[in-house]
Amino acid sequence: MSEEVKKISAKRKKKKHPFRTFFSLAAIFLSCFLIWIAAEDLITTFRLKKEISTSEEMISSLESQQKDLKKRKENLEDPEYVKRYARGKFMVSKPGEQIFKLPSKSDDPANDGN
């Protein structure tokens, strides 16, 4: 009778074995799928953080530009500044005044045209 018990227990083990294999494979597949989703989300998060930092740098640069442009606008509304700017940049002179351009240390002698 002990042989019959062994045969019956062996049959039971064989019957349970396919279910265990199926559930094990299902658990492994589910684990891999969840790890893949988590990795994809992590990559997306890093990409978005990089985009945010790039955008913040651009915003900072644009704000700096905006401040400079506002300052230039304020200066150009001042008539004295406009006079000084025109006289220095475009060599505009008052009637009867002569303008002499003196070389500075930063001028390159090769640019004289000689």
pLDDT (tens digit, 9 = 90+) per residue, 13-68?
A: 555 567 888 999 999 999 999 999 999 999 999 999 999 999 999 999 999 999 99
Both structure tokens of 89: 């940049």
**Domain-located, residue 98:** no
**Domain-located, residue 22:** yes
Looking up tokens 């062994």 gives 6
Residue 108 has pLDDT above 70, yes or no: no
Measured in whole angstroms, how far is the alpha carbon of residue 48 from the centre of its chain? 8
**Domain-located, residue 100:** no
**What per-residue confidence (pLDDT) applies to 114?**
44
**Domain-located, residue 75:** yes
Length of the chain: 114
**Domain-located, residue 102:** no
**Domain-located, residue 112:** no
Average pLDDT over residues 70-91: 88
**Domain-located, residue 103:** no
Both structure tokens of 99: 């303008």
**Domain-located, residue 114:** no
- Total domains present in the chain: 1
Structural domain range at position 75: 2-93
pTM, whole model, 2 decimals? 0.52
